[in-house]
Structure 1
């Protein structure tokens, strides 16, 4: 699998699936979650309510339609809230592993990922980047491209530097 890094808006990525850093309820929210629900339209929320009436557990993943976005699917993951004391790194890495497993079930060959838990959930940036790249690089999958989509130059720069350290993929 090729890992690429771009700076931009995850909701506009021309990929098979985008990954949503959702909350447990899966009913929309702030950050990536809010942006995906706004861009995808009411179809995303309706599918979340139908498919996940009780939401998802931290570290798990599930899919819905992408609604009005260019992608076909949204793969929702629930990252740990570091700011609220959820500091088990295995829950964070599980998000990436489970997202790839769901992508394989769907037949998705290109998947755009945000940096899970590094925003409002407060996971330290460098460790969030390392957890993402180590897990994506070390998980067997049929996905051809995992695209890390950085929202902002500081995240983009951190991802590029880590890619070089880990000897992974390429960037755009």
Structure 2
């Protein structure tokens, strides 16, 4: 599998699947989640509501993943995953790694060859960027997957730099 790091807007990535750093409600939020719902249009929210009404009545658990249409995005699917809130006293790194493993598992089930990830849990959930980069890259490298390319799409230069420092060429 090829891992690439790019500075950009995840909602503009032409990939098979875009990973959404969702909240457990699956009904949209801020940051990456809000951008994906806004640009993807109402089809994503409609499928998320159906998921809530059927399998995920209490919401999606932290570290898990589920897929919907990508609506108006230039991808086929959105894989929603709920990252953990950072804690300085409780090690939640396995949950953050699980977001990546479960997203790739769903990608394999869908037949996705290219997947774009954001820096999960680094926004409002407060995960330090360098730590998140280390966990994300290790999780993807260790995953058993048929995905050909994982693209980390980083919103600013600070995030890109943190991921680059964990992914020497």
User: What range is the shorter-chain TM-score in?
Assistant: over 0.9
In the alignment, the residues of structure 2 paired with residue 85 and residue 115 of structure 1 have an alpha-carbon distance, to the nearest angstrom, of 21
Please tell me whether residue 10 in structure 1 is matched to residue 14 in structure 2.
Answer: no
Q: Which runs of 5+ in 2 are unaligned?
A: none
Count of residues paired in the alignment: 165
Query: Structure 1 residues 71, 84: closer, same or farther in 2, change over 3 A?
Result: farther
Deviations 1:57-115 (A, max 9, x none): 00000000000000000000000011697641111100000000000000000000001
In the alignment, the residues of structure 2 paired with residue 58 and residue 85 of structure 1 have an alpha-carbon distance, to the nearest angstrom, of 18
Structure 1 residue aligned with 2:71, among 55, 67, 70? 67
Matched with 1:107 is 111
Misfit runs of 4+, over 6 Å = none
In the alignment, the residues of structure 2 paired with residue 112 and residue 85 of structure 1 have an alpha-carbon distance, to the nearest angstrom, of 30
Provide TM-score, normalisation by structure 2. Answer: 0.94
Deviations 1:20-73 (A, max 9, x none): 000000100000000000010010000001123322000000000000000000
Provide TM-score, normalisation by structure 1. Answer: 0.92
Query: Structure 1 residues 86, 22: closer, same or farther in 2, change over 3 A?
Result: farther
Query: Structure 1 residues 61, 126: closer, same or farther in 2, change over 3 A?
Result: same
Q: Which runs of 5+ in 1 are unaligned?
A: 168-172
Aligned alpha-carbon RMSD (Å): 1.4
Matched with 2:100 is 96
In the alignment, the residues of structure 1 paired with residue 89 and residue 121 of structure 2 have an alpha-carbon distance, to the nearest angstrom, of 12
Does the aligned pair in 2 maintain the 1:104–1:142 contact within 8 Å?
yes
After superposition, residues 18-57 of structure 1 pair within 5 angstroms as 18-53=18-53, 54=57, 55-57=59-61
Structure 1 residue aligned with 2:144, among 112, 125, 140? 140
Q: Secondary structure at the match of 1:123?
A: coil
Could you tell me how far 1:160 is from its partner in structure 2? 1.2
Matched with 1:159 is 163
